Structure 1
């Protein structure tokens, strides 16, 4: 099961490091590239709960295998994208089907783990499951940087041997498939897909449509209204897609809120950092991946401490510490982006990663441990849906912020070099879209907007890009600050096993959470 889910987590971030190469070869805009990344996150979030329900109905093993096949076939097709006018549509489409495959695969794999391990050993199994999954998210850019030195298409093809191993091990483990007769909440599934899709569409396209555009707000507000209808429908439904009553647990709600705001920074940071390193620092994909290694190092070390804090003191101290460190780390990191020096930034990148590391596993594990009256799979469906939806929103919002800020900065640079306001505004949008595809040290060639600029102007624009990313990173620090506020609402209760084997809250420090 871990071989299967490894692909889903790595693919959340592996594409980010290859973004400039993909943009150049396929002639995509930077906003188009954001859709390539976000299509996967959005469909994974929107279909996750439905995947869990289908897993219960058709059997966990069967859905895990179907999801793996959908995922790996989509990966192969992503790697085989042809160049030309239809490249962006092709890549976005099959990134979306990748997300659907992951949404079928992941809840089924989790359900297999829950079913196979007895209750007394299930906590340790789930801790390993979630701990490694978080680490794999951070490993994605490192693997992507290495593969991109050969060809960016390899970041998709690498899933093929992993999927073959996962399928072979699944059959070798002789896992039984046990389908159950249960109803499927198709109406709820449709509402959550439409609501998430519309809201993210509006947020991401705001850079192209404009914040004053009626269609922008129609999508954003329409999506939120549909999600509100989904909540009302689920609360009235006899067989809901998601049992929302679990949110009556204050600690669970705090865990989910912390995950939401922290994930707005965690997954998008890989995309924006890799683009920044390759554009403003003129780094190669491999060098950009090594830059992210500092973030991952802080994440990996803090993850171990976060788990120990959870065991000894409960989730609240880990959440408070992680969100505070994350907010400070991202703010200090943002302040150093315009120095254009990797040497000056690495301590703050590590601090930001440590903040996420302290909170990720404790928040996820504490939420799952509070699955009173519902299953591990259903609660994980909620947390994973929230995590991926938050990542989609973060990428959409911060991408819009980056484009707008970059455009404003380039307008100022072009006007300072004698361009009229009309010429500056006309060229700024094209440059903001095209600059992500020019990560090397050479002046661009051809008819691109950058081709008409000299080396001095290119240097100024790389600084403009750094300043635009600085705004994005300050926004990420703000998201972690909101997560810190949310962590304060966690009551500090802990989870211990009752005599009947159900999870029961326990106040105070006491002993580590146990399960009977």
Structure 2
């Protein structure tokens, strides 16, 4: 449910913004659009360590159960947005923060609860299913969002309510807390510096994607630079605090455990390689490939989710199987091989033309999913099995922080690379293409001055920005029918952005392949599996 809501909103954004009467392609509204996407991930990245620590102190099941209730209440409030325009967007962004808090309570403690409940020889299989649930939620969200948004944009949030009510009641009735408690005081200074430092970096990345002072991105913005520097300094202060206080938020000594530190390094590199992939593939399909193959822009969000199903299928097959095999043969070999396969698929995607044969694309993303599945469950099992039992909540939260932070960083970096690639050639291509179709020079230049980030989001949202921008001026009605049909047709805009988009793809896929290689090297360095510690072997009695 938590993972589903990270993606279902992406596909539903056109319907949501139409529902609150806000133009998503207006440059003034780009900030709302970005925060609808990135705000959820930012909160999850920042809070999971703290909430994992709370699980260690007060009970992992107790925090997990509360997460269901918080998530459900937030979903109800999101669906009853009473405002329109900018105020309606702020309402949604604000309650998405609460929803992400509930989701963080779930994700921060789920791996720790499973690690407590299963013996070491079955842990990988259990965590494999947990990983499958998370990834399946992401891609089910893409399809469910496309279907539900056609009916009513509020249904995107209603879908969580029955699941949340059932989950809340079921969890309180059935889950038992078998973990070891570590009572103590809360490290408020550590929590504050960690949350503010990581928030500063992730907020700066989100702001960096927005145009500023006539530039295509905001990376030169003094506020962005200041937030990045402040965020890094606060994280340095956090490390100093954690090494000095008696009861720290994070036991830095955990990083002396090779399996823990290597596993988290591999998680960060893998999530950096993978986090922006979903968006890049969606843009590729929705903005170029599907329109070139005759699909209407309004239908491309749903079909993009369907055409990405091989990626989900690969993970669904490999995740539990790899988890079960890691119980017998250890995590190092499987997770390393998974990352090597994962990286190889980026080289394969790099070799595809922009207008690819679907069978080749489907085969490569299926192998990408298999590689991710081979890595995720064994790596998680290795991390969680390497720490003392009373530190599993915070260890689970730290693993989720590396995962979510890598995803957010990846989206920011990948989007920036794509925006820079588009900005170098798209304005001139747009101006030339439109004037050739009879659009007046002044209007063509005005359309070409649209920030490239708006073009990117037009593809994500399944919009033809040319029709959207030219319609209010009345220029389309003055053109010959053949020229008008060409401009608003399926091929004109995709052809214009194909070359700059492919240049951006090249940079992104090479970076992802290198990051996957680093993740494989980190995974290989974790060392051989060791027998679980004595407390791991104890079976705690149930009520």
Report the TM-score when normalising by structure 2: 0.81
Q: State the alpha-carbon separation in 2 of the partners of residues 430 and 492 from structure 1.
A: 40
> Larger deviation: 9-18 or 134-143?
134-143
Q: 1:45 — aligned with what?
A: 45
For residues 175-197 of structure 1, the C-alpha deviation after alignment (integer angstroms, 9 at most, x for no partner) is 47998742111211111211111
For residues 398-448 of structure 1, the C-alpha deviation after alignment (integer angstroms, 9 at most, x for no partner) is 222333333333213134345589757633548526634762679635767
Asked if 1 retains the 8 angstrom alpha-carbon contact of 2:132 and 2:316, the reply is no
Query: Does the alignment pair 1:426 with 2:449?
Result: yes
Query: Does the alignment pair 1:363 with 2:379?
Result: yes
Which is higher, the Rg of structure 1 or of structure 2?
A: 2
Query: Does the alignment pair 1:28 with 2:28?
Result: no
Secondary structure of 1:497's counterpart equals coil
Q: 1:331 — aligned with what?
A: 347
Q: CA, structure 1 residues 449+191, in 2 after alignment: closer, same or farther (shift >3 Å)?
A: farther
Q: State the alpha-carbon separation in 1 of the partners of residues 410 and 158 from structure 2.
A: 27
Shift of 1:71: 1.2
Q: CA, structure 1 residues 439+409, in 2 after alignment: closer, same or farther (shift >3 Å)?
A: farther
For residues 369-414 of structure 1, the C-alpha deviation after alignment (integer angstroms, 9 at most, x for no partner) is 1114752222111101110111111122222233333333321313
> Larger deviation: 143-152 or 494-503?
494-503
Shift of 1:243: 1.4
Query: Does the alignment pair 1:72 with 2:105?
Result: no
Q: 1:170 — aligned with what?
A: 171
Q: 1:444 — aligned with what?
A: 467
Where do 1:40-439 residues align within 5 Å? 40-81=40-81, 82-114=83-115, 124-173=125-174, 175=176, 181-207=183-209, 208-209=211-212, 210-280=218-288, 281-282=290-291, 283=295, 284=299, 285-336=301-352, 338-339=354-355, 342-372=358-388, 375-417=391-433, 423=446, 426-429=449-452, 432=455, 435-436=458-459, 439=462
Shift of 1:164: 0.9
For residues 241-299 of structure 1, the C-alpha deviation after alignment (integer angstroms, 9 at most, x for no partner) is 11122112233222212211221243433333334433322352321111110211222
Shift of 1:308: 4.9
Q: Where do 5+ consecutive residues of structure 1 fail to align?
A: 1-6, 504-513
Q: State the alpha-carbon separation in 1 of the partners of residues 239 and 42 from structure 2.
A: 19
Asked if 1 retains the 8 angstrom alpha-carbon contact of 2:40 and 2:100, the reply is yes
> Larger deviation: 156-165 or 329-338?
329-338
Q: State the alpha-carbon separation in 2 of the partners of residues 355 and 265 from structure 1.
A: 12
Secondary structure of 1:11's counterpart equals helix
> Larger deviation: 17-26 or 211-220?
17-26
> Larger deviation: 218-227 or 109-118?
109-118
Q: 2:514 — aligned with what?
A: 481
> Larger deviation: 243-252 or 462-471?
462-471
Q: State the alpha-carbon separation in 1 of the partners of residues 36 and 132 from structure 2.
A: 27
Where do 1:435-514 residues align within 5 Å? 435-436=458-459, 439=462, 444-445=467-468, 454-457=484-487, 459-467=491-499, 469-470=501-502, 471-472=504-505, 474-489=507-522, 490-491=524-525, 493-497=527-531, 500-501=534-535
Q: State the alpha-carbon separation in 2 of the partners of residues 52 and 153 from structure 1.
A: 31
Asked if 2 retains the 8 angstrom alpha-carbon contact of 1:192 and 1:227, the reply is yes
Asked if 2 retains the 8 angstrom alpha-carbon contact of 1:127 and 1:361, the reply is yes
Count of equivalent residues? 500
Shift of 1:160: 0.4
Q: State the alpha-carbon separation in 1 of the partners of residues 317 and 119 from structure 2.
A: 29
Secondary structure of 1:86's counterpart equals helix
Q: CA, structure 1 residues 46+68, in 2 after alignment: closer, same or farther (shift >3 Å)?
A: same
Asked if 2 retains the 8 angstrom alpha-carbon contact of 1:24 and 1:437, the reply is no
Report the TM-score when normalising by structure 1: 0.84
Q: 2:215 — aligned with what?
A: none
Q: Where do 5+ consecutive residues of structure 2 fail to align?
A: 213-217, 436-440, 477-483
Asked if 1 retains the 8 angstrom alpha-carbon contact of 2:56 and 2:182, the reply is yes
Q: CA, structure 1 residues 379+9, in 2 after alignment: closer, same or farther (shift >3 Å)?
A: same
Secondary structure of 1:493's counterpart equals coil
Q: State the alpha-carbon separation in 1 of the partners of residues 516 and 387 from structure 2.
A: 22
Asked if 2 retains the 8 angstrom alpha-carbon contact of 1:409 and 1:464, the reply is no
Secondary structure of 2:529's counterpart equals strand
